[in-house]
């Protein structure tokens, strides 16, 4: 059985993951408006991944005998000045999520909840990958100053990304 404090914190994380999905969908819409279908696709895949992360935690809480309590999802930002700003926001957001996951690990340690600590290790590994991926994209976008032929080449590359369901 999961302890109440851990359950509450995991419920907050479910909300954070679902918010992340909304944020990335908002960014996908921004890129659609800019006729950058590849960037939009990348964000759509990112949104699906974040939704799956929320469901992974949702299922874990249920498996541990806890109670999932869904909360309102805040409206995400929907306007940016340029593509660089979008990816700076993505990078900052992923760093924030990393911080939230790290805080969850701290709570699991304090509560001596070894099952949750073990479960959260997957998210730690995922966040390392997420931050590295977004950092690389951000640096590439900055190299091309967010425009020109390089932008269209990157857009084409990002269009090939596909969602892979969690195991």
Find tokens 């001596």 and name the residue.
Answer: 112
Q: Determine, yes or no, domain membership for 167.
A: no
Q: Determine, yes or no, domain membership for 163.
A: no
Q: Determine, yes or no, domain membership for 135.
A: yes
Name which residue leads in pLDDT, 69 or 165: 69
- Tell me the CB-side half-sphere exposure of residue 24, using CA atoms within 13 A: 24
Residues 28/47, Cβ–Cβ less than 8 Å? yes
Q: Determine, yes or no, domain membership for 117.
A: yes
Q: What is the CATH classification number for the domain harbouring 116?
A: 1.20.1260.10
> What pLDDT shows up at residue 165?
82
Q: Determine, yes or no, domain membership for 18.
A: yes
Q: Determine, yes or no, domain membership for 95.
A: yes
Q: What is the mean pLDDT of residues 59-84?
A: 97
Q: Determine, yes or no, domain membership for 113.
A: yes
d(CA 96, CA 89): 10
Please report which confidence band the pLDDT of residue 118 belongs to, taking 50, 70 and 90 as the band edges.
Answer: very high
Q: Determine, yes or no, domain membership for 137.
A: yes
Radius of gyration of the chain measured on its C-alpha atoms: 17
Total number of domains constituting the chain: 1
Q: Supply the pTM of this predicted model.
A: 0.95
**Which domain range does residue 13 map to?**
4-158
Structure tokens at 134: 């977004």
DSSP designation for 14: H
Which residues does 71 contact at the CB level (< 8 Å), separation at least 6?
A: 11, 12, 15
* Residue range 16-38, pLDDT digits in tens: 999 999 999 999 999 999 999 99
């Amino acid at each position: 059985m999961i302890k109440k404090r851990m359950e509450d914190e995991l419920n907050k994380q479910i909300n954070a993951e679902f918010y992340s999905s909304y944020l990335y969908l908002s960014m996908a819409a921004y890129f659609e408006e800019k006729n950058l279908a590849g960037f939009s696709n990348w964000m759509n895949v990112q949104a699906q991944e974040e939704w799956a992360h929320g469901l992974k935690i949702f299922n874990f809480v249920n498996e541990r005998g806890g109670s999932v309590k869904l909360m309102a999802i805040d409206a995400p930002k929907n306007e940016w000045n340029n593509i660089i700003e979008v990816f700076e926001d993505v990078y900052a957001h992923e760093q924030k999520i990393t911080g939230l996951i790290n805080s969850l690990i701290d709570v699991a340690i304090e509560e001596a909840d070894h099952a949750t600590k073990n479960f959260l290790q997957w998210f730690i590994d995922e966040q390392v990958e997420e931050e590295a991926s977004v950092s690389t994209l951000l640096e590439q976008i900055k190299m091309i100053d967010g425009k020109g032929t390089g932008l269209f080449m990157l857009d084409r590359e990002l269009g090939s990304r596909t969602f892979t369901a969690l195991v």
